[in-house]
Amino acid sequence: MADKKPRWRIMTGVGPPPAQSGPPKKWNYLPLETIGPGDFIEITMDKDEAKRVVNAVRSYAGRVGRKWDWKYSVRITDFGIGIWRVE
């Protein structure tokens, strides 16, 4: 055991680590930062798709709201999903 070489190495001049790749952001295109209090965004889709993705949209709106200290209301509407900025 004493004659084993270490399992690490030092490399110089390699630069910063590469950006981590993860799943693509699905709701990043929504302009939530640009709407004012009382404004409304509607994402048109059928009822079944709206029921399937409404929680993901709520989660994204909640993250943006915490970042800017704003509040959003996300509801299923007749035409898809509606997002209101309430504060």
The domain limits of the chain are 35-85
pLDDT for 1 equals 56
Give the CA count within 13 Å in the CB-facing half-sphere of 70.
22
Bridge pairing between strands 72-77 and 40-44: unpaired
**50 burial class (0-12, 13-18, 19+ CB within 10 angstroms)?**
buried
Residues 2-25 have a mean pLDDT of 74
pLDDT for 64 equals 92
pLDDT for 45 equals 93
- Is the four-CA dihedral 69, 39, 25, 54 of positive or negative sign? positive
Note whether 38 and 71 are within 8 A (CB): no
Full-model pTM: 0.70
- Displacement of CA 5 from its chain's centroid (Å): 45
